[in-house]
Structure 1
């Protein structure tokens, strides 16, 4: 595999964008500093003490997961996805003959974009570089949301190896949410805090029951791999050369981002799903069911934040959306229809696909039930004059032909 490009021009351009973004949003460089200057071990110890049950806090494997979580969610660290990038590139090289993504790899960065979809843009100059910019709170939001969703799934009896199991069924999930109001309270706290403040750092730390952190981490990993796999798919499918450019998407209004068509976005979704699930299999010892759960959660997260911000802005949860993208339901249905093709007629993989679709149905039902309990809180806040953070950038809800043909 060839060496990855240096991205020197891309880094300078990203710093330029950050400075212009801060000026456009009226944020001083001091107040926007996102680097946690505390000793990382102190942060981990405080989280273990305040957010986990003592049984889990003493478990060395749980501690390793928490340390990984804080390393991955360390704000301002533009290299935090380097490991995932390497795994995506290695999987593409191993499974697609003649493909070497390293020389084409983008610089992954963070910017207050005001939307949850990643934003891509070419870097001015001769380098040929391009940036993939994530909303600076997106992955922390995904991490917290994964824990809230995992908590809604009842624990079952231990298996033959003494491992914790979960009851992935709609009746037990519904019963748990109704019997444990703190599950919905945690979800509402995360969504409302993000909508109102533009960040999730002020959301409360919530106790994670014993055994749940690993489940939540697998959901989060799957979501992250898909988001990155989607962006690499735009490269593999040649979209960078034909995508239009659009101004006014970022707070720094003169910056031009790549504006992909619905067809291009959907094609990148299915290719990104294949790429991300195979990367999880190759590098994270995961399987198709958990690879797909994170993808389903990503689209539900997009939908929830579209609705939350629109509800506070207009009183109508279907009036506006964050940035330009095909409807989340359409994208999710499209991938559900394509997923069985990944089995290729293999009976074992076909069973994995069936399980993946069933578990994704439960995950989506969890989001639906929790959103139903969050909606009236948001409406009450709106009646009392609470509005969304000014950093969110919305447009009228997009509609179009939802009968897009398969890949």
Structure 2
């Protein structure tokens, strides 16, 4: 239990104790006394003190309140008023709130036992009619309601915690899946480059003269190392591929295929406008692939999660040191569940951006809609 909770419980016990003493000695409940006022005041003081330990052992606190009250009821009779009900109500709430379901049910049993003791040991109010007996159930309802409220708060807290854990698990899984996908795609990019290097080294080796022995050995080493590197990459990527998944035979996509990507989304019902600013440059293969995937993810989020978007805008700005990509829409805000799904997708995109030392911002636009802005430096080193 934290220090803050401890201070709160002590303060609560003091407040309940003061209210009980005011009820006894102010004459507010003079017609409801059973026995001398000091006995009722002692009961209220003892049950208030017990509330200071309500979170240390909720069920033991509730049982102790029942035991103290039972003694006072048996000796002097059961009084009426807020002072006798409030400690049991708070203890019942605490039991329902903080205990596991199997233990929490005992709190409801203790509350019922408290009501039974109060109604049985009241020498003044002896219900004779059915209506009077039903009226005595009123003294059970506050503790019952308090327990139910506590149980509802506990269930709500458990549900929220489970949702948080599920979100973290989905985010972790998304990161792992995206890293695997990045590794597979980089294999295609890097594998192509290594293959070109190996083929070029072989071509140069064949052009050497007989007396260029050192050069021939160096090029042969490049060929051997290149082929070994390709073989190792294929083995590693084979481990990363899921069961039954086949290697992609198509070349890795890039921004050159952006118009084709936009056309696909237009066919799906999302009007897409593409604008390019700055001096268009050829991107390194891996960076080009990352830029393409970022635009693809942004448009996919708009299509799936934006409500009634009139269209989406893709802006690509080729700067001297970096390339900036922005995907914007004018749809209505997504629901909390949909925002969570969008967030999981953005986790994977952040993994891609991090590979190249870039940054990614995803936010709701002040004028409405959603935007994703990524900045990728030319030099990722």
TM-score by length of 2: 0.22
Which is higher, the Rg of structure 1 or of structure 2? 2
TM-score by length of 1: 0.21
Q: Work out which structure has the larger RCO, using CA pairs closer than 8 Å and 6 or more positions apart in sequence.
A: 1
